[in-house]
Every structure is written in C-alpha cells, then in structure tokens.
Amino acid sequence: MQMYKNDPDTEMIKKLLVAPESEYMNEAQLVFFKERLIALHDSTREHIRQAKEQIMSPPDLSDISDRATWEEQCTLLMRIVDREQKLLPKIQQALERIRLGEYGYCLESGEPIGIERLLARPTAEYCADVKVFSEHKEHLYKKEREF
C-alpha cells in the first residue's frame, strides 16, 4: 500500500485491494479504471505538449558546452515524447476493452490480470504469468538472432 500513499484515490484503492474475487471488474471498479485511464491520457498528452514546446523554444546559447547540454536535453525529451506517443494508443485500447467488458482479463489466457497489476499499469493486456513467459521467449529469440 506504501506506493499508493500519495495517490488521491487512496481510499478507493484500499477498497479495490481488499475486494473479494467475486467482485472483480464490477461496475465501480470499471468506472475507477476508466477515470484513471482518462486522467492518464490527459496527463500524457500534456507531457507531450510541454516537451514539444521545450524543444521548439531553444534558449540563446553561445557557449558550446551549454549548446551540447541543450542538445542532450532535447534528445532525452524526444525519447520521452516517442514513448508517451506510443502510450496513447494503449490507453485508448484499454478504454475500448472497458467499453466491451473485456478490461482486466488477459488477452491470451482470459485469466484476471489482477487489481495490483492494473493499478501499477492500467494499460496491461496480459496477466503476469503470460507477460513473463512472453518476455522470456522474446529474450531467447533475441539471443538466437545475435549469434
């Protein structure tokens, strides 16, 4: 519970974590995650806007080391923008799964993903077991390609 200490939804999170399995992905939980995903979508779009604004407004730098620092910061900002732009469709897909009544269940096994995992990553599509297996398989294929 420590990681949710500063979350404005702390009370609701406590309820989610102690809810019986029979209440998994009930109406209140779906509303909670929908609101969380919408807030994540909005904040992600705002982060992208701010990063792009920073990149487009370079300071007047005459010192070569200051210019190098600025360029490095821009590179980092572009990586952040790239990652966050990839997150937006995942958020939209999660919202669509809520609409279809499929949110919270693994796309591969159909098993519940779990409240804790969804709190940590509300766009999660797979339960932890399937995700670990998938990442392990990906790691093995990557090693094979290196040889």
- Tens-binned pLDDT, residue by residue, of the chain (147 aa): 445 556 667 888 888 989 999 999 999 999 999 999 999 999 999 999 999 998 888 888 788 888 888 889 999 999 999 999 999 999 999 999 999 999 999 999 999 999 999 999 999 999 998 988 888 878 777 666 665
Alpha carbon distance 55, 119 (integer Å): 32
The set of residues, in sequence order, having a beta carbon less than 8 Å from that of 16 and lying 6+ positions away, is 29, 32, 115, 119
Going along the chain from its start, the domains and CATH numbers come out as: 2-146 (1.20.120.910)
Task: Kindly report whether the global pTM for this prediction surpasses the value 0.75.
Answer: yes
CA angle 37, 43, 48 (to 5 degrees): 125
